[in-house]
């Protein structure tokens, strides 16, 4: 071989990879630069695909939440729930949560939100949109909080057309994490242990989630509109003034005689827990070690020289190598086994509590039917209220059994106790009315339970179908006309419900 | 300064420390050699001070358990216990455990072991010595297991005169850890998940403790003595055949219709949990990570070049720097706060369960008094049996709230449920006998509770005082005559009891 040939080969062998590496580094730098660059996005832009133009990786992973698309009818698996929620929307329809991609869709489709015919008809009020859409901060900014929180759910129909997205957590100016729901700022300040002004970036990596993943209620708040009319807004409020523990919040509600609904069977003044994820998370080992929601639910991803946050929020168990194993040693199998054990412990006590509370409601109904007086019933109903609240607080969230297993089991233990206390009192009342041996009717299937509570299921489904084909379609048309609707946010969306559609 | 003076100074400055270091190394080597040397100790030598001649550091630290000398009357703090244990020894007297130094003394002094007058009088049987003395392996070796486990407690009086010590866990030949209680070997093999033959040294660092820190019962076992007489031995047996979880052991006892005692008020066929420390430890995080009891309760100590195991067994919280902080980061304050929270959670559910179960016993008594039939009562009594067993399993041990907080809370939750189930059934029975509004009497102090159960406290104390001044003194004299008694094992011993002495 001639020397020049050899030289050429050496040159090519060495230089081509070096050139490619140079190109790669340049590309990565460009990508990193694009990430660091402050893009031009209008304030409170509700269309996530617009943000995605500057942040393709974050947007693509966010859109990955579309993969979590299974409809799982929880009432079918746990028919006790129908009894527990008699007279309340959840007894009609309750599915396990799907990916963020579906949250607006599922809010519109559930039987809970009913079948309004126009902006004035119910059953739900406007705050039911609060955690469902990136149009909410925009609409609050436009109308003001009190106006936003006033009226029926359907009132904001044509304005709320995109699911939760970029605008809910990020500033369009700086891209930094930001709170777009002022009620969280107010709640942090009222609770006092960590006022909003002191929140660090690491705190924000949980607080943006806590805007929605928390316990809240709708606080009636009077105000006067532009026309001088008195209005009552239902303002989303976190009940944290006494603290975030189950009993602290219970006391908060009791002090205000707050009632979410009156139970259709037992006439108990009930509380419904939403999803106190933040409240329970901070009591557990990970919360106490200073971890944030994002640390496990949105782990960093490295692609070449680019590092970004995975926005496909879901179970960290889908990605143990990049979540648990960042800090812990052990095998995936060991993690799954430990977590399955935690889940089984929670499920055991939760199932016990549900069965007890369902029986308590039915036994109370029987006592009422036999002529029991309000005075006789009051102590038992108070126990039911507290027992069901505590059970609901423990299990309504997404993963309290893992975030705070000990606190969850403690509160479930106390829920069991309260529920049974109610039943002991009810047994004495039933005996007084010659029904000491009363046995609650069979509620072992969703259908049986819904029949017991007198739910007109077929009618609700029929009305809902009309809504889905009517007003719901209108809303997206209106959104498109206003230029706020992002068609990509519903790309490939199929109608999936637990009822026939 | 002259050169020679300077040289002298330099020599002295350098060489004296070197010489001292040399001496120190030699001393340490000698000490280490003494530790590694196999000493000449007779087989099953019960006197720990004899072992201490070869192992002064281990012996001195073992003798340090003398510092844990406080008598804490648990019945005074939790009078419900008197009701829960009516008809059983624990309702007479129950103190928090003191250091290992006191275990034989406290076994002799408690009102539970009564006031025998001679080797044939009760109330307790011989197996009550099993975990109290280093004379036990010696005596079993001499008499055989069945003979040892036969007869009344007082029968072995003059033979059992030293507390648990070196001979209980170490081989005199090799100094290696060894099991001196065969029932543990049998139980491990019966349970099956880790047969004794497969035990590693690290396993042994828990198993020597598990000889006593476990759940057991006395299994009636027929045998024929040298004279051809039929005898019944009460053989210490671990109920592990179905597993070690609370419900596994409950099933084991149910399958055998085993009853520890019949409750004096409710007539429930009761179970008494001992201290299932090993069973609960292995379900917790530390157990699953392969830690042993000794890792935290007997941490290694380094003194110069000598490394040895601290035998002053007690709470690792007394020594966080050498226990928790070997593996964890964090401050002592943080550890204490986290552990206090775990304790508070357990205490809350335990107090709830105790109150419920005490009421259930009293309500059952009322039902019997009113004429309830066995058939009517049976289901409620079964719930009491299971509820109290589960509560006791959760709290009877030393630190299950820490070793296995989640399992402890789960089992307590189920105990609360069972106890309340019993009360619902009892409420219906009481109503049938026109006592639907029965309220249990006040058991808010130890005295009130002992009065309710009709305990002749003053008589028990008086008899015990006679025993302490009589037979107990004889026993130590007999031990000394036999050459088995180690006076150092009682050096500075003061008579401390919860009752006047």
H/E stretch holding A269 reads strand A269-270
Instruction: Name which of A68, A123, A115 is nearest A96 in CA terms.
Output: A68
Size (chain B), residues: 501
What pLDDT, in 10s, does the model give residues A367-415?
999 999 999 999 999 999 999 999 999 999 989 999 999 999 999 999 9
The reply to whether B284 touches chain A by the CB within 8 Å rule is no
Residue A424 with chain B: CB contacts under 8 Å:
420, 423-424, 427
Q: How much of chain A, in percent, has pLDDT values that exceed 70?
A: 92
Residue with tokens 């210490």: B236
Average pLDDT over every residue of A344-368: 98
SS3 B224: strand
- Given pLDDT bands bounded at 50, 70 and 90, which one contains residue B23? low
Structure tokens at B403: 């070793």
SS (H, E, C) A45-64: CCCHHHHHCCCHHHHHHHHH
Tell me the C-alpha to C-alpha distance, in Å, between residue A160 and each of A125, A470, B465. Answer: 14, 16, 83
Instruction: Name which of A146, A151, A102 is nearest A123 in CA terms.
Output: A151
Predicted confidence (pLDDT) at residue A18 exceeds the cutoff of 80? no
Tell me the CA end-to-end span of chain B in Å, nearest whole number. Answer: 76
User: Rounded to whole angstroms, how far apart are CA atoms A232 and A159?
Assistant: 21
The reply to whether A410 touches chain B by the CB within 8 Å rule is yes
Q: Distance from CA of residue B62 to its chain's centroid?
A: 16
The reply to whether B434 touches chain A by the CB within 8 Å rule is no
For residues A393-403, one letter each, b for 16 or more C-beta atoms within 10 angstroms of the residue's C-beta and e for the rest, the string is: bbbbbbbbbbb
- According to DSSP, residue B229 is labeled -
Domains present along chain A, CATH in parentheses = 41-70+89-259+457-488 (1.10.1130.10)
Cα dihedral A347→A350→A351→A352 (10° resolution): 130
User: Rounded to whole angstroms, how far apart are CA atoms B396 and B393?
Assistant: 6
SS3 A337: helix
Structure tokens at B91: 């309702």
The reply to whether A349 touches chain B by the CB within 8 Å rule is yes
CB B301 within 8 A of CB B308: yes
Q: How much of chain A, in percent, has pLDDT values that exceed 90?
A: 90
- List all residues 6 or more positions away from B385 whose beta carbon is below 8 Å from its beta carbon: B268, B269, B270, B271
Cβ pair B349:A410 closer than 8 A:
yes
- Given pLDDT bands bounded at 50, 70 and 90, which one contains residue A77? very high
Residue A416 with chain B: CB contacts under 8 Å:
413, 416-417, 420
Cβ pair A416:B413 closer than 8 A:
yes
CB-side neighbour CA atoms (13 Å) of A310: 21
Structure tokens at B163: 């507390």
Cβ pair B345:A427 closer than 8 A:
no
Give start and end residues of each alpha helix (H) in B230-323.
246-255, 277-281, 285-288, 293-297
Residue A414 with chain B: CB contacts under 8 Å:
348-349, 352
Q: Please provide the DSSP assignment of B78-146 as one string.
A: -THHHHHTTTSGGGT--B----GGGHHHHHHHSGGG---SSTT--SSBGGGGTTTBTHHHHHHHHH-HH
SS3 A342: helix
**What is the model's pLDDT at position B38?**
63
Residue A348 with chain B: CB contacts under 8 Å:
410, 413-414
Residue with tokens 């497969």: B198
Q: Which residue of A has its CA nearest to B413?
A: A413
What pLDDT, in 10s, does the model give residues A78-133?
999 999 999 999 999 999 999 999 999 999 999 999 999 999 998 999 999 999 99
Of B338, B420, B428, the CB nearest to A420: B420
Average pLDDT over every residue of B352-362: 98
- According to DSSP, residue A300 is labeled E
Q: Which residues share a beta bridge with A221?
A: A233
CB B166 within 8 A of CB B254: no
Cβ pair A424:B428 closer than 8 A:
no
User: Rounded to whole angstroms, how far apart are CA atoms B140 and B184?
Assistant: 14
**What is the model's pLDDT at position A452?**
98
H/E stretch holding A76 reads helix A74-77
- Minimal CA separation from A483 to chain B, in Å: 52
- Minimal CA separation from B442 to chain A, in Å: 18
Residue B410 with chain A: CB contacts under 8 Å:
345, 348-349, 409
Size (chain A), residues: 501
The reply to whether B354 touches chain A by the CB within 8 Å rule is no
**What is the model's pLDDT at position A122?**
86
What pLDDT, in 10s, does the model give residues A411-450?
999 999 999 999 999 999 999 999 999 999 999 999 999 9
Average pLDDT over every residue of A35-61: 90
Average pLDDT over every residue of B113-120: 97
- Minimal CA separation from A326 to chain B, in Å: 16
Residue B427 with chain A: CB contacts under 8 Å:
424, 427-428, 431, 436
Which sign does the torsion angle of CA A206, A208, A211, A212 carry? negative
Structure tokens at A249: 């919040």
Cβ pair A409:B414 closer than 8 A:
no
The reply to whether A338 touches chain B by the CB within 8 Å rule is yes
- Minimal CA separation from B129 to chain A, in Å: 37
- Minimal CA separation from A248 to chain B, in Å: 15
H/E stretch holding A409 reads helix A405-432
- List all residues 6 or more positions away from A159 whose beta carbon is below 8 Å from its beta carbon: A135, A139, A478, A479, A482, A484
Average pLDDT over every residue of B135-150: 98
Tell me the CA end-to-end span of chain A in Å, nearest whole number. Answer: 77
Predicted confidence (pLDDT) at residue B296 exceeds the cutoff of 80? yes
Q: How much of chain B, in percent, has pLDDT values that exceed 90?
A: 90
Torsion angles phi and psi, residue B300, rounded to 5: -65, 145
Structure tokens at A216: 């809240």
Torsion angles phi and psi, residue A189, rounded to 5: -70, -40
Q: Which residue of A has its CA nearest to B437?
A: A428
User: Rounded to whole angstroms, how far apart are CA atoms A232 and A151?
Assistant: 8
The reply to whether B465 touches chain A by the CB within 8 Å rule is no
The overall pTM is greater than 0.90: yes
User: Rounded to whole angstroms, how far apart are CA atoms A220 and A228?
Assistant: 18
Predicted confidence (pLDDT) at residue B366 exceeds the cutoff of 90? yes
Residue with tokens 């044939």: B120
- According to DSSP, residue A231 is labeled E
Of B410, B431, B432, the CB nearest to A345: B410
User: Rounded to whole angstroms, how far apart are CA atoms A265 and B300?
Assistant: 63
Mean pLDDT over the full length of chain A: 94
User: Rounded to whole angstroms, how far apart are CA atoms B416 and A413?
Assistant: 7
- Can you tell me the ipTM of this complex? 0.91
The reply to whether A87 touches chain B by the CB within 8 Å rule is no
Instruction: Name which of B359, B330, B459 is nearest B80 in CA terms.
Output: B359
**What is the model's pLDDT at position B31?**
59
Which sign does the torsion angle of CA B38, B41, B47, B53 carry? negative
**What is the model's pLDDT at position B122?**
86
What pLDDT, in 10s, does the model give residues A226-258?
999 999 999 999 999 999 999 999 999 999 999
Cβ pair B427:A432 closer than 8 A:
no
Tell me the C-alpha to C-alpha distance, in Å, between residue B38 and each of B27, B34, B53, B306. Answer: 18, 8, 12, 17
CB A48 within 8 A of CB A162: yes
- Given pLDDT bands bounded at 50, 70 and 90, which one contains residue B29? low
User: Rounded to whole angstroms, how far apart are CA atoms A452 and B79?
Assistant: 45
CB-side neighbour CA atoms (13 Å) of A1: 8
Predicted confidence (pLDDT) at residue B39 exceeds the cutoff of 80? no
What pLDDT, in 10s, does the model give residues B150-182?
999 999 999 999 999 999 999 999 999 999 999
User: Rounded to whole angstroms, how far apart are CA atoms B439 and B456?
Assistant: 25
The reply to whether B414 touches chain A by the CB within 8 Å rule is yes
Give start and end residues of each alpha helix (H) in A134-214.
135-143, 145-148, 182-191, 201-210
CB B273 within 8 A of CB B214: no
Pairing of strands B269-270, B261-262: antiparallel
CB A108 within 8 A of CB A158: no
- According to DSSP, residue A260 is labeled S
Q: Distance from CA of residue B97 to its chain's centroid?
A: 8
CB A266 within 8 A of CB A364: yes
Instruction: Name which of B11, B18, B28 is nearest B307 in CA terms.
Output: B28
Cα dihedral B27→B29→B35→B36 (10° resolution): -160
Mean pLDDT over the full length of chain B: 94
Cβ pair A416:B421 closer than 8 A:
no
Best of A283, A324, A342, A410 to mutate (most B CBs within 10 Å, chain B): A410
User: Rounded to whole angstroms, how far apart are CA atoms B137 and B148?
Assistant: 10
A 10 A CB-CB count for B228 gives 6
- List all residues 6 or more positions away from B38 whose beta carbon is below 8 Å from its beta carbon: B173, B174, B175
Peptide bond between residue A123 and the one before it cis (omega within 30 degrees of 0): yes
Q: How much of chain B, in percent, has pLDDT values that exceed 70?
A: 92
The reply to whether B286 touches chain A by the CB within 8 Å rule is no
Q: Which residues share a beta bridge with A217?
A: A237
Predicted confidence (pLDDT) at residue A19 exceeds the cutoff of 90? no
Cα dihedral B209→B213→B215→B221 (10° resolution): 60
Residue B430 with chain A: CB contacts under 8 Å:
431
């Amino acid at each position: 071989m001639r020397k020049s040939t050899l030289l050429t080969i050496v040159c090519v062998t060495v230089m081509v990879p070096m050139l490619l590496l140079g190109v790669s580094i340049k590309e990565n730098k460009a990508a990193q630069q694009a990430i660091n660059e402050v893009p031009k996005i209008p304030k409170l832009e509700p269309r996530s695909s617009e943000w995605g133009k500057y942040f393709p990786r974050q947007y693509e992973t966010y859109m990955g939440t579309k993969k979590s698309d299974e409809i799982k009818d929880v009432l079918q698996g746990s028919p006790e729930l129908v009894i527990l929620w008699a007279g309340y929307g959840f007894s009609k329809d309750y599915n396990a949560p799907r990916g963020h991609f579906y949250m607006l869709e599922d809010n519109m489709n559930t039987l809970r939100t009913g079948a309004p015919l126009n902006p004035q008809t119910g059953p739900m009020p406007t705050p039911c949109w609060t955690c469902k859409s990136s149009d909410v901060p925009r609409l609050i900014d436009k109308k003001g909080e009190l106006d936003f929180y006033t009226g029926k759910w359907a009132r904001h129909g044509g304005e709320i057309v995109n699911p939760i997205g970029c605008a809910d957590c990020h500033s369009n100016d700086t891209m930094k994490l930001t709170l777009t729901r002022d009620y969280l700022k107010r709640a942090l300040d009222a609770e006092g242990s960590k006022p909003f002004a002191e929140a660090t970036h690491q705190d924000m990596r949980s607080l943006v989630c806590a805007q929605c993943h928390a316990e809240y209620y709708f606080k009636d708040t009077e105000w006067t509109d532009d026309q001088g009319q008195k209005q009552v807004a239902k303002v989303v409020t976190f009940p944290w003034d006494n603290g975030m523990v189950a009993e602290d919040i219970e006391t908060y509600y009791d002090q205000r005689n707050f009632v979410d609904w009156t139970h259709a069977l037992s006439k108990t003044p009930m509380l419904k827990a939403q999803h106190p994820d933040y409240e329970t998370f901070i009591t557990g080992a990970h919360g106490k070690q200073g971890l944030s929601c994002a640390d496990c639910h949105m782990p960093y991803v490295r692609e070449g020289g680019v590092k970004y946050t995975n926005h496909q929020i879901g179970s960290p168990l889908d990605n143990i190598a990049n979540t648990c194993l960042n800090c812990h040693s052990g095998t995936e199998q060991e993690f799954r086994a430990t977590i399955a054990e935690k889940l089984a412990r929670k499920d055991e006590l939760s199932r016990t509590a549900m069965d007890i509370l369902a029986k308590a409601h039915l036994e109370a109904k029987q006592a009422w039917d036999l002529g029991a007086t309000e005075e006789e019933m009051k102590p038992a109903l108070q126990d039911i209220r507290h027992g069901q609240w505590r059970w609901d607080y423990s299990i309504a969230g997404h993963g309290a059994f893992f975030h705070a297993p000990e606190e969850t089991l403690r509160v479930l233990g106390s829920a069991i106790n309260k529920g049974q206390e109610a039943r002991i009192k009810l047994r004495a009342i039933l005996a007084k009315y010659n029904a000491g041996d009363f046995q609650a009717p069979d509620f072992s299937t969703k259908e049986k339970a819904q029949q017991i509570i007198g739910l007109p299921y077929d009618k609700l489904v029929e009305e809902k179908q009309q809504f889905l084909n009517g007003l719901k379609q209108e809303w997206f048309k209106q959104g498109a006309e206003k230029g706020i609707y992002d068609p990509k946010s519903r790309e490939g969306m199929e109608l999936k419900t637990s009822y026939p559609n």
